[in-house]
Structure formats: C-alpha cells, structure tokens
Structure 1
Amino acid sequence: MYREWEAAGVPGAVLWSSVSGGSETRVLPDGCADLLWSSRNGLLVAGPDRTAHLSRSAPGDLWIGLRLPPGTGPAVFGVPAEELRDRRVPLADLWGRAAVEVAERVETTLSAPGDGAAGVLTRVAQERLRAAGGPDPLGARIAGRLSAGATVAATAAEVGLGARALHRRSRALFGYGPKTLARILRMRRALDLARTGAPLAEVAARSGYADQAHLTREVRELAGVPPSRLLTPATA
C-alpha cells in the first residue's frame, strides 16, 4: 500500500508512505534524495541512484519518506550529493546527536494525534533549508532544463557554466554528471508518456530517443528491466 502527497513548505518535495507487503520493490532513479523513517530501521537517507534500487522489507513494515527534488538534498543533509550516491545511510552518520533528537521527535508523534512522522520530516527539512539559506538555485535551473529535454551543452550555456564546471556542480548537486541526470529524467518523461497509453514507438520519438530499440536499451540499463515490465499493472 503506497500513497504520496505534496510536502507543504518544501518546494518541489513529496511526502510518501508505504506499508510493505513483503515483496521486492523496484525503485527507479529520479535524481532525488529522500529523508526516510522506517518502523524497523529508524531514520535513513536515500541518496540519488544511478540505476534502480531493489528494496526489500518484511511484511507490515511501515515507511514514511520525504522525497526532495533534484539539487535540494545537499542543503538539507549538509553533504554533496555524490557522497550519498547509490547509498542508504543512517541519518546519525551525517548528523550525529541531531539525528537522535529527530528520532525522538518522530517517536513522540507515533502515539499522538496530528500529522505524525511525515510532519516531523517536513519540519526538519524546512529547518535545515532555512539554516542553509535555501537550496542552491542552480540545481532547479539545471534540472528544469534537462527535464524539459534541453541538451547538456544548451543547459550549460543557459546557466552560464563551462562543460567542466557544469559537471562539477552537477556531481555536488545531483550525485552525478549532467549527462546521467539527463538520461534519468528522459526515462522518467518517457515512462510517464507511455502510461498514458501512447505506443512505445511514439514515446521514443517524442522523448528524444533514436527509435524504440534505443528507448528499450536505455530503460533496461537504468531500470534493470524493459519498459514492458514497468508498464504492466503488477509492476507499474
């Protein structure tokens, strides 16, 4: 059972909750970083993934997460995104005693009325963003242009950076270079279009792939399975 909703007060962020049925879940890369609370594992940080992450939980495990948009994670977690790439890290490893205090705030909400752990995660992110002066605005600009289908070269020119500087800033903001982020965002764009019922050949053309075979190869490399597996009711 999974649901998600807007995180008020954290621009672009999404709250989500899930109760595990005990089966493996394929989490596709999206350029985001998550602040997580698990009924079994406590507070964790999920860094930006380059390929699909296979999540395994025991039946009945509760997960609550705050998914931060691309480029926002470093301002909240206090480390460059590349240090968290492809990792699930206990929050205490990053924040020390401050993470213990957050855990205590979460535990207090579990038996009390109100917005519970989701509210705590949101408020913590708000506090961290205020202390950091907000996320680096360059992150939203880069991700926005790449998400819209702009080339890496055009994006670099628009934000006023050379190729090497864009690569360095992207690794710090997103965990990987702009080409990898562009591939991930294009895949997400293509899958969203495919879920509307558009044929895969049309999806490939409209999403900037050379052809349907190119789309299939890219999705398989990033998601671990072909598009058809992701678009069936059981796995979508």
Structure 2
Amino acid sequence: MSFLYEERASSSVFVDVVWHTQDTSDGTYLASADARWDLIFTISADGQRVLLSGPSTQPTPVPYTAGNRNVGIRFAAGAYFTHVPVDAMRDRTERLTMPTPGLFLLGGSAWPFPGTDDALVDALVESFARTGLLAHDDVVEAALDGGPVPLSPRSVERHFTHATGMSPREVRRIARAREAVARLQRGEAIADVAHRLGYADQSHLTRELKRLTGYTPGQSQGRDEPV
C-alpha cells in the first residue's frame, strides 16, 4: 500500500466513517463498489480539492499522488444529498467548485473547507443536515440491519431507489461483497467465507468479488489496502 490510512467511526447518524490518508507515492487505488455517498477533501502541493461521489455499483480507479493528504467522509446507509437526483450521481464523481481556497460550493451554497481537522469535518456534516442538504432515510438503514420495516416490499424498494439509486438486492450484494473482502483480509479461508455469507460456492464468490471489487478472493487475501 502506497498511502497511510486510518479511519474513525462517527457518532452522526449520517456518517459511517471518516478516514484520513497520506499518499507516500504515486499510484492508483481501485475503490470497491460501496452504494454510499462520499465526500473527499484533498490538500496537495497544487492547492485544495473537493470531490463528491455518488453511490457506486462498480470498482472505481482512484489516482493518488505522493505528498497529498486526504480526508474522506463515507456516509451511512440511507444518507443522501438532496440537491441532486441520485440517478445523476450514481457511479459518478464531481469535482466541486472552490471560489476561494477556503470555500467550496455545494447545493447552491458556499461551505468552509475543513482540511484535516476532524472537529471541522463533523461540524460540516451537521451544517449539511441542519440546512436540509443532507437527509437520512431510516427505512433503508433498518432494512439493511434486518430490523422490522412496516412497509410493503414495493415501498421499501422506492426508499432504496430514492436514497441510493439501486434496488435493495443490489445494495445488499455490494455490502456482502465488502464483508467478504474484510473477512478474507482477516485471514478467513475462501471456502469458509463463501459458506458463511451465503454464496452458492467459491465460483459464485469469485464472480461477485471480481465484479464489485475488481479482485478475486485470492487477491483480496493478500491486499493490504482498505476495502
């Protein structure tokens, strides 16, 4: 791995994790499908940059450059931005306009660039939510957690489509693939992972991981990058 990586959980209902990286060389990271929104702040020798990524259904190459420092917000299941239809951002990353080095534009408003300060990152998320730019669909999160959802399957599907641009089945496939990689990286055997996560067989696991993460189970076992 050619970058240093750390992450922390968040107490916000809108956020899964906040991660920090420092790039130690030039290269390309293959980000797995994640069915989540992401916001990335980069500080480089050339200045600052903000990227907004919509839910992804496929692996995405992400270039990195030695010396860059990055902070990313991986939003929670069910969290979504309200200023744009999710279909317009699915499998897409948009570089946001920065009118000054300390401000970026999102949803028609200017927001402070938080840099690498976790407190400022958390405050930014709260500001998004307070103004209605960021919303959270409890139905999506409850359905993924296996909790009771007093709605018809069609209604649940509409909630998923609105927040993620995907069906519940596709979101669960992505979540299962990411869990499979995490287990493989912890040293679990390929056959055990396939069985415990409900794949039909090892070939099924291989097809799903290759399609959603870009790596085979064997490659995933030796991969030292985050999922």
TM-score of the superposed pair, with normalisation by structure 1 = 0.78
Residues 13 and 76, structure 2, Cα contact 8 Å, conserved in 1? no
1:82-137 per-residue CA deviation (whole Å, 9 max, x = no partner) reads 332111113446423x23x323xx3xxx6xxxxx4433222111122233395221
> Shift in Å at residue 174 of structure 1?
1.8
Q: 2: distance between equivalents of 1:65 and 1:193? A: 23
Q: 1: distance between equivalents of 2:124 and 2:160? A: 25
Q: 2: distance between equivalents of 1:171 and 1:136? A: 11
Does the alignment pair 1:71 with 2:78?
yes
Aligned letter for 1:213? S
RMSD value, Cα: 2.4
**1:82 aligned residue (72, 83, 87):** 87
Q: 2: distance between equivalents of 1:231 and 1:198? A: 8
Unaligned runs of 5+ in 2: 98-104
- The aligned residue for residue 149 of structure 1 is none
Q: Which has the higher strand share?
A: 2
How much identity, in percent, do the aligned residues show?
26
Summarize the alignment of residues 1-236 of structure 1 with structure 2, pairs less than 5 Å apart.
1-10=4-13, 12-20=15-23, 21-40=25-44, 42-74=49-81, 78-92=83-97, 94-96=106-108, 98-99=109-110, 101-103=111-113, 106=114, 116-132=116-132, 135-145=136-146, 158-235=148-225
1:56 alignment partner, SS class: strand
Matched residues, number: 211
TM-score of the superposed pair, with normalisation by structure 2 = 0.81
Aligned letter for 2:6? R
Q: Closer, same or farther in 2 for the Cα pair 1:67/1:225, shift >3 Å? A: same
Q: Which has the higher helix share?
A: 1
Residues 137 and 159, structure 2, Cα contact 8 Å, conserved in 1? no
1:4 alignment partner, SS class: strand
Q: 1: distance between equivalents of 2:164 and 2:10? A: 20
Residues 22 and 59, structure 1, Cα contact 8 Å, conserved in 2? yes
Q: Closer, same or farther in 2 for the Cα pair 1:51/1:14, shift >3 Å? A: same
